[in-house]
Structure 1
């Protein structure tokens, strides 16, 4: 991009010089226009070279930071999730690479990812609410009790949780769970791969970057409610995303603006960085202990990580 811009500047300078030569002719100002244009071209070239140098330095520093953090934190999460089963739930348009990285982080910490549930945009389409509500009521099982003040998407999250999650360990995917998966899958609201044998107790919800232009934060109200529903049916939920997701128009921004949700659901807004991936593990451990926190670098009221969990047993 920089080389291309430089060539454009050079070509413009040449035509400018030719034009100036025609206008000025061989009079007393002969050569002045060309010299001025050449001087400006030289300044532009120097500015572009400076920008190129700064971009290279910034990229190098970013790589250094990530490599340093990865080496320093290596082993810090070892064993933190031993015997813990975790499900990964991806929001519509969430990056698969981020979900893969978080799965690796869970496994390095000794945990087992039992399944990945992908939510379809149809689930949160306002025009589909008339489908979601009756389906939720149809799929409710005898062992589910909806809170009296719960709404449609909190109930939908609880129903989805009943299929692949549980508050206690070693709960199998039974016939009721299979019925729920079939109902939600046939309605194209979500998909689950692979179908797990056992239900997990913890869950990571992978947030997507907000689209451009960014939607209003209220656009994610249903998604926040769904995450609360997942929490109702599990031992803990951590919503993980990039810094963009914690800014205006992002899921984490909406979550952190909901006082009730932040009491039970944790969030990490730097999950694309090695330090953030470690923080997701620490937040899962904290969730298993019955606590929640908001962590990261963008308006994260509880700081960079749950320090008490991080220091424990290290």
Structure 2
């Protein structure tokens, strides 16, 4: 921006000089145009230097903050998720680095990630709604308690939860979970790692994607939110983890926090790209296991930076 401005000033000055060449060359304004350009160039160089210094300082402060969390508060989550089985479900186009960072913190806390599910954009394509509903009807098992007023995507979330999770610890994969996973992967609505479910999780972390360049309205996420509610109903608890972008306009967490029913049961953390935020995901999962939900982070997070149980002072 500064370089462009410099060029514009230079060009204007040149045309000014050409248009008034005789006067400038022979009169009292001789040299004025070049002096203006030189003066402005010097100012721009100083501004650019100041901006670089400020950026360097900000990067240093960011590194200090992350190092402080990693080194000074290291161990705060140790054992918090001991013996807890956890599934990670990534929304379409979610950042794999974000998912990996969250997983690393879950494992530091003693949790065991049993399954990683990558949802395909096809799942939430409005043109696939009939396929999704048909699969739900085909794959539903007798032990899934389907609410009468549930939507297609709430039932789909319940179905996936039955395949990879349970309300309590100690449940293993069985014939029904295998059939559900095979049906959903066969329809290319999602993929799993590993492909077979051995141990079903009790807790689920959903990784939110960054919003598109043109932010959609909250209604765009209705099906995704219903799906997440279904995951929560069929498991011991769900935390949605994302970046600050996902809590801004056009983001999944923003839509979640605008849904009063969803916030009663599902937790969210909007700074999961930071070490402190990844720790908060752990604390939010512990809270979910105890039957509570909260919205945490930096962007319109009504419950503050973390669950009150781990804060020295309340929000």
- TM-score w.r.t. length of structure 1: 0.93
Identify the range of structure 1 (75-84 vs 50-59) with the bigger mean alpha-carbon deviation: 50-59
1:141 lines up with 2:144 in the alignment: no
Evaluate the alpha carbon distance shift between residue 310 and residue 118 of structure 1 in structure 2; reply closer, same or farther with a 3 A threshold: farther
The answer on whether the counterparts of 1:73 and 1:278 sit within 8 Å (CA) in structure 2 is no
3-state DSSP of counterpart to 2:26: coil
Q: CA offsets, 1:52-75, max 9 Å, x none?
A: 211111121111111112222200
1:276 lines up with 2:277 in the alignment: yes
- Give the match for residue 174 of structure 1: 174
- After TM superposition, list the pairs within 5 Å mapping 1:96-115 onto structure 2: 96-115=96-115
The answer on whether the counterparts of 1:81 and 1:281 sit within 8 Å (CA) in structure 2 is yes
Q: Distance in 2 between matches of 1:198 and 1:37?
A: 71
**1:153 Cα shift?**
0.6
Q: CA offsets, 1:188-227, max 9 Å, x none?
A: 1111111231101001000001011111111111111111
- Over the aligned positions, Cα root-mean-square deviation in angstroms equals 1.9
3-state DSSP of counterpart to 2:267: strand
- Give the match for residue 234 of structure 1: 235
Evaluate the alpha carbon distance shift between residue 110 and residue 310 of structure 1 in structure 2; reply closer, same or farther with a 3 A threshold: farther
Q: Distance in 2 between matches of 1:223 and 1:151?
A: 11
Q: CA offsets, 1:108-148, max 9 Å, x none?
A: 00110001000001111111111111111111011112011
Identify the range of structure 1 (88-97 vs 195-204) with the bigger mean alpha-carbon deviation: 195-204
- Give the match for residue 290 of structure 1: 291
Q: Distance in 2 between matches of 1:18 and 1:149?
A: 72
3-state DSSP of counterpart to 2:144: coil
Evaluate the alpha carbon distance shift between residue 262 and residue 14 of structure 1 in structure 2; reply closer, same or farther with a 3 A threshold: closer
**1:284 Cα shift?**
0.4
- Give the match for residue 24 of structure 1: 21
- Give the match for residue 183 of structure 1: 183
- Give the match for residue 93 of structure 1: 93
Residue segments in structure 1 that go unaligned for 5+ positions in a row: none
Total equivalences in the alignment: 308
3-state DSSP of counterpart to 2:67: helix
- Give the match for residue 248 of structure 1: 249
- Give the match for residue 260 of structure 1: 261
Q: Distance in 1 between matches of 2:210 and 2:263?
A: 20
The answer on whether the counterparts of 2:242 and 2:270 sit within 8 Å (CA) in structure 1 is yes
Identify the range of structure 1 (13-22 vs 260-269) with the bigger mean alpha-carbon deviation: 13-22
Q: Distance in 1 between matches of 2:310 and 2:157?
A: 27
3-state DSSP of counterpart to 1:199: coil
- TM-score w.r.t. length of structure 2: 0.93
3-state DSSP of counterpart to 2:288: helix
- Give the match for residue 83 of structure 1: 83
Q: CA offsets, 1:229-254, max 9 Å, x none?
A: 00111101000000111111110111
Q: CA offsets, 1:78-130, max 9 Å, x none?
A: 00000000000000010000100111001000110001000001111111111
1:218 lines up with 2:219 in the alignment: yes
Evaluate the alpha carbon distance shift between residue 45 and residue 136 of structure 1 in structure 2; reply closer, same or farther with a 3 A threshold: same
**1:278 Cα shift?**
0.6
- After TM superposition, list the pairs within 5 Å mapping 1:43-58 onto structure 2: 43-58=43-58
3-state DSSP of counterpart to 2:142: coil
Identify the range of structure 1 (181-190 vs 51-60) with the bigger mean alpha-carbon deviation: 51-60
- Give the match for residue 198 of structure 1: 199
